[in-house]
Structure 1
Amino acid sequence: MIKRITLFSCPMDVALMDETVNWIADRTSRRQFTQHVVVNVAKVVNMRSDARLAESVRNCDLINIDGMGVVWAARLLGHVVPERVAGVDLFGRLVAMAAKRGFPVFFLGGTEEVAAKVCAKLKAQFPALKVAGSHHGYFWDNEQEVVENIRTSGARLLFVAITSPKKEAFIERWKQQLGVDFVMGVGGTFDVIAGKVRRAPRWMQMAGMEWVFRVIQEPRRMWRRYLITNSKFTLMLIKARIAATFGSTA
């Protein structure tokens, strides 16, 4: 059973991977619109200073906990969180579900080359997958045209591989015009599927060290981001733990 908690003023849904996939599949089959997001340490921190990002996250129908840092923080503050639901893993499960149930999908994001590779690889992996369309993520000069293409494509599920907070703002801005039943921001997932970026080994994922692996791959772009957000999140957690000890809630 999916249960909603609040951590650092951010609503989050505690759910197993199977529960999440089944919940989304059921709503999609009933043509019930679902706006989905995953939260990690960086997103929770950035929500504190970015009101638009915070609003878009809070407006989502399903908010899965992606980062192990958030899982550990929730547990430390008294919440029962059995597992993380990583966005890249959920993406794979949902594509498999869409192929099985005949739900057309649309892939939005990445470069043209990456978008093409994602379509080709997933079609090879899931021959029954119906790809309603795809488009690269550099479309801000003709945003409305891209939205119209998605709306008329017949897609039931839309995956948006654009960096945060742009993807959340895009989804929030256009969700009424997209014409899909499910929309999910998947960040850098397309780069992983296309083989442009490697994912951390399983042991690093479980140890909450994926961020270290990303810094190693892209040190100039990532070191400052993770140093700042991880430090801020640690301070937030310390303050919340002290407040909880003295009878307050996080």
Structure 2
Amino acid sequence: MQEVRLGNNPRIKLLGAEVDVLDESQTVSLVNEYIKTNTPLHLIGVNADKINAMQKDPEFSEIVNSCGVINADGASLVLASRFLGEPLPERVAGIDLMQRLVELSGKNQYKIFLLGAKESVVRQAAKVLKDQNPTLKIVGVRNGYFRREEWPLISKQLKELKPDLVFVGITSPLKEYLVEFLQADGNKSVFMGVGGSFDVISGKIPRAPLWMQKSNLEWLFRVGQEPKRLLRRYLFGNITFIWHVIKAKLSGNVKR
């Protein structure tokens, strides 16, 4: 479903993905316009892993590129954009953007819904966010353990609650297919995928130290936390991503 694009920011085509030339503050301002005008939005962050997945799954690629706001949520993507001659301003980290949007919601009395992770984790994340933002309106939480057959029930719940923002902490590409279904079913919220942010916010897992975040080494910290699950993914995933970057450089496949 091709979404309405608000704002006049440029967008580049990078390794098969449409990416908005936006920094974090510009993204927050733009999302605010979507909420104020009641315009549906799928806000997505693209990283090396998503780029690799898009090369193999045309339907997934179509969903990503149809989103109204597409951020570069990965240092590798920002570095690739510079190497390919179309530099993006910065990495817009999903968890940081989520925190900024939560603050915006508390200030403007926007309603939010948390969807994903384990029940104990998502409820603890909601408590932490509420403690940090006392005026925040959290209208509902739901864990991420459900079958596709339950998607209509989730849609029904969201239609009843009418949240302005829905943060979705579910693994890709299932997350993107779920949001596509919810939007096609008439939900007009701003949907944002937040990966494992609920785990970090709840305190279940720590985030990388600030110096590692600023040095583009947050991925290495994650590998250290879960080496069995992530080492192979990052090792082979990064090699594949670098190969896509090299091919794009040779072909000139990046444009505004």
Superposed pair shares fold, TM > 0.5: yes
Q: Name the counterpart of 1:204.
A: 212
Name which of 16, 31, 36 aligns with 1:9: 16
Instruction: Judge conservation of contact 2:78–2:91 (CA < 8 Å) in 1.
Output: yes
Q: Name the counterpart of 1:220.
A: 228
Q: Name the counterpart of 1:186.
A: 194
Which structure has the higher relative contact order (CA within 8 Å, separation 6+)?
2
Q: Which amino acid aligns with 2:246?
A: I
Instruction: Judge conservation of contact 2:78–2:87 (CA < 8 Å) in 1.
Output: no
Aligned length: 247
Q: Does residue 123 of structure 1 match 2:130?
A: yes
Aligned partners of 1:121, 1:175: CA distance in 2, in Å? 28
5+ long unaligned stretches in structure 1: none
**For each residue in 1:190-229, what CA deviation from the matched residue of structure 2 results, as whole angstroms up to 9, or x when unmatched?**
1110111211122222222222111110011111111111
DSSP 3-state at the match of 1:47: helix
Deviation at 1:178, TM superposition (A): 5.6
Aligned partners of 2:74, 2:171: CA distance in 1, in Å? 16
Q: Does residue 88 of structure 1 match 2:92?
A: no
Aligned partners of 1:181, 1:147: CA distance in 2, in Å? 11
Instruction: Judge conservation of contact 1:52–1:169 (CA < 8 Å) in 2.
Output: no
Deviation at 1:32, TM superposition (A): 1.2
Q: Which amino acid aligns with 1:159?
A: F
Name which of 64, 71, 75 aligns with 1:64: 71
Aligned partners of 1:145, 1:122: CA distance in 2, in Å? 25
DSSP 3-state at the match of 2:121: helix
Q: Which amino acid aligns with 2:52?
A: V
Name which of 162, 171, 184 aligns with 1:163: 171
Q: Name the counterpart of 2:81.
A: 74
Aligned partners of 1:5, 1:137: CA distance in 2, in Å? 33
Aligned partners of 2:21, 2:152: CA distance in 1, in Å? 35
**For each residue in 1:160-188, what CA deviation from the matched residue of structure 2 results, as whole angstroms up to 9, or x when unmatched?**
00011110111112213363431111111
Aligned partners of 1:42, 1:225: CA distance in 2, in Å? 9
Considering only aligned residues, what root-mean-square deviation do their CA atoms show, in Å?
A: 1.5
Aligned partners of 1:111, 1:21: CA distance in 2, in Å? 27
DSSP 3-state at the match of 2:13: strand
5+ long unaligned stretches in structure 2: 1-7
Name which of 229, 251, 256 aligns with 1:243: 251
Which residues of 2 match residues 13-28 of structure 1 at below 5 A?
13-28=20-35
Aligned partners of 2:92, 2:137: CA distance in 1, in Å? 25
Instruction: Judge conservation of contact 2:112–2:163 (CA < 8 Å) in 1.
Output: yes
How does the TM-score come out when normalised to structure 2? 0.92
Q: Name the counterpart of 2:36.
A: 29
Aligned partners of 1:91, 1:207: CA distance in 2, in Å? 21
Aligned partners of 1:242, 1:180: CA distance in 2, in Å? 41
Name which of 76, 98, 110 aligns with 1:103: 110
DSSP 3-state at the match of 2:195: coil
Deviation at 1:240, TM superposition (A): 2.1
How does the TM-score come out when normalised to structure 1? 0.94
